[in-house]
Structure 1
């Protein structure tokens, strides 16, 4: 079962940086951005994370929490977060439970080899836990601004 626009997202719990357990049910009452990215400390993922970092205050002003999600382990996440000064937590999805829920694992090609990897995707969940917007196959330039505009529109109702 995967997520559907304008439908409630199934409750989930996942380990995150700073020793946190992120549980959807505990975050009700705030809007939520989950952005899925392929790998810590790679150029596109770093640029994307920096975009969310640089707009973090604006997301908070729109009552929206931001979480990055990849299959990397917590140690890798902690290093990436510290090096980039991310003010938000990174979720480790080593068992791919969140990746499956949001259907972001896709067949990819690199140097002629095929492999299963995370398709860069972002999801905006409202205060009631309903999926309100999704971006799949994300290109990094301009993406954070589009997500922020959607979060601000959601905040204004």
Structure 2
């Protein structure tokens, strides 16, 4: 499967999530956000998820759904969701199918060693299922607010 680019329609995406099976075809007619993060219960990922949580009602008011994605298991996601009171689904991608489609797997330096992991990235998909905006190499502060603004602009 090749990677997706801005302006392209997404293929049908299916995966397991904390809210049951995820199927992007059920979202046609509604914009949605997919944010990829490296790992549950780590400082940056926790802050990012809390920021999306705290703005969730505003995303809903803009008609936009939010989904978090990492390579963690559903069990890990369930624990993270409960601990952080996340109102949106977290998608488990342990085989990296979605990670590869969105080209978020990168070599990163951790403590002087090269490791392969998820580069924090967010994607906004419009109601027609077209990828309209992407954020790569995301820095957490103010990121969820920036994504919300883009979602609100879609709704306007």
SS at match of 1:45: helix
Matches of 1:51 and 1:12, distance apart in 2: 25
Once residues 139 and 30 of structure 1 are traced to their aligned partners in structure 2, the CA distance between those partners, rounded to angstroms, is: 26
Partner of 1:131: 131
The aligned residue for residue 111 of structure 2 is 111
Structure 1 length-normalised TM: 0.97
Distance (whole Å) between structure 1 residues aligned to residue 103 and residue 14 of structure 2: 17
SS of aligned partner of 1:137: coil
* 2:71 corresponding residue in structure 1: 71
* 3-state SS of 1:152 partner: helix
SS in 1 for 2:41: coil
TM-score for the superposition, normalised by structure 2: 0.98
Aligned to 2:3: 2
Question: 1:84-120, CA deviations, whole angstroms, 9 ceiling, x for partnerless residues?
Answer: 0000000000010000000000000111111110000
CA distance in 2, matches of 1:79, 1:123: 24
Aligned partners of 1:61 and 1:97: how far apart in 2?
30
Equivalent residue number for residue 121 of structure 2: 121
